[in-house]
Amino acid sequence: MAFGLSNRVKGIAPSPTLSIDAKTKELIAQGRDIVNLSVGEPDFGTPEPACQAGIAAIQEGFTKYTAVPGINELRKAIVKKLLEENGLAYEIDEIIVSNGAKHSLFNAFMALCNPGDEVILPAPYWVSYPEMIRLADAEPVIVLTDESTGFKLTPDMLQKAITPRTKALLLNSPSNPTGAVYSREELQALAEVIEQHEFYVISDEIYEKMVYGIEHVSIASLSEAMKKRTLVVNGFSKAFAMTGWRVGYIAADRMIVKAMTSFQSQTTSNPASISQRAAVKALDCFDTRAIELFNKRRDYVLKRLRGMPLIECIEPQGAFYVFPNVANIIGKSYNGTKIDSANTFATLLLEHANIALVPGEGFGAPNNIRISYAVSDQDLQKAMDRLEAFLKEVE
């Protein structure tokens, strides 16, 4: 039969975070007073110098195609950033800029994976990881972590997940959704296992600047051997509040970057010229006050959650999420409705408490929920008050 969609797209699950955000915004447009804690987007604006650079690019007519892997000016700035901030020495031809870090990740999977390959994926994971791995005809090998390990992969867990078909390990530190951050010692212990085998590491470091009381360490910086096999993924969405500008990048061995450049040339071509100019300026504009603000919000949410019944929550060390455990709520009822899952809990909160958050099923953690604290202090207080009142009605 000629008509019909491909099996590839029929098997894709929609992003639950974006679906909930869209539904929430629809309710807000209808006049509902919803506090949206569902989306991972900073609530402050893009740095003014970056905005002005984008405007200048338009005014100067810098609106044509650029080189597929990005303009030299931006790639040189990224090389400088990686050396000074991460202790990683790359050449310009080892950098490829794409349309957001999400696009960078997709390029990586498509460049590395063959049918039947396996990608080790610690859970909880960002919702798009397993879908992108499957789109590359590979298989995600889910390794479950929980609060007992701080939501982190241990060397023993990693060793047990490795097979002859392992093509890559995906590490996300700081983590979305858990806020977990791997220490230098924890990464070194993983590296000792990794170096005994032949597979890549895809290190998603998009939240690297959002750390609280702990340093961010790139696993690629531990040794030349680790750098050779690691693809460092980063971007501008989180640290510089440039979610809509769509600029991400990968630093990796030039053979891999060359392959991703060829792939990108046949799919999207170059990232937006205007956004690239803005990104150059953004790299010099990180405002550390954002970290102070997020840290304050994190502490406030943790304090409130730990004062509520039925919820348990460990302290995240990075990103801008908390990931409470709601297992004690599942099986109870709210106004006669049984709460049989985190998804049902989140639905009831949206319908009856006007709070939007993300249930853990999409992250591979059905006993948890994700709360973003990248919203105003006023909205956080309103949401916590509503959540506390809701929980008092659960029985």
340-356 pLDDT, tens per residue? 999 999 999 999 999 99
Q: Is 41 left (phi over 0), alpha (psi -120 to 50) or beta?
A: beta
Strands 355-356 and 35-36, how do they pair? Answer: parallel
**The pLDDT of residue 13:** 77
**The pLDDT of residue 1:** 54
- Spatial distance between the Cα atoms of 26 and 388, rounded to a whole number of angstroms: 25
pLDDT at 293 over 70: yes
Q: Which CATH class is domain 48-282?
A: alpha beta
Q: In the chain, which segments carry CATH 3.90.1150.10?
A: 7-32+288-392
Q: How confident is the model at residue 322 (pLDDT cuts 50, 70, 90)?
A: very high
What is the share, in percent, of the chain residues with pLDDT greater than 70? 100
Distances in Å between the Cα of 380 and the Cα atoms of 20, 300, 326, 371 are 18, 9, 19, 10
Domain 7-32+288-392 falls in which CATH fold?
Answer: Aspartate Aminotransferase, domain 1 (3.90.1150)
pTM (2 d.p.)? 0.95
pLDDT at 46 over 60: yes
pLDDT at 15 over 90: no
Ranges 29-38, 57-66, 238-247: which has the least confidence:
29-38
**The pLDDT of residue 22:** 80
Q: What is the pLDDT of residues 127-186, one digit of tens each?
A: 999 999 999 999 999 999 999 999 999 999 999 999 999 999 999 999 999 999 999 999
Ranges 29-38, 98-107, 111-120, 365-374: which has the least confidence:
29-38
Peptide bond into 309 cis (omega under 30): no
Q: In the chain, which segments carry CATH 3.40.640.10?
A: 48-282
pLDDT at 206 over 70: yes
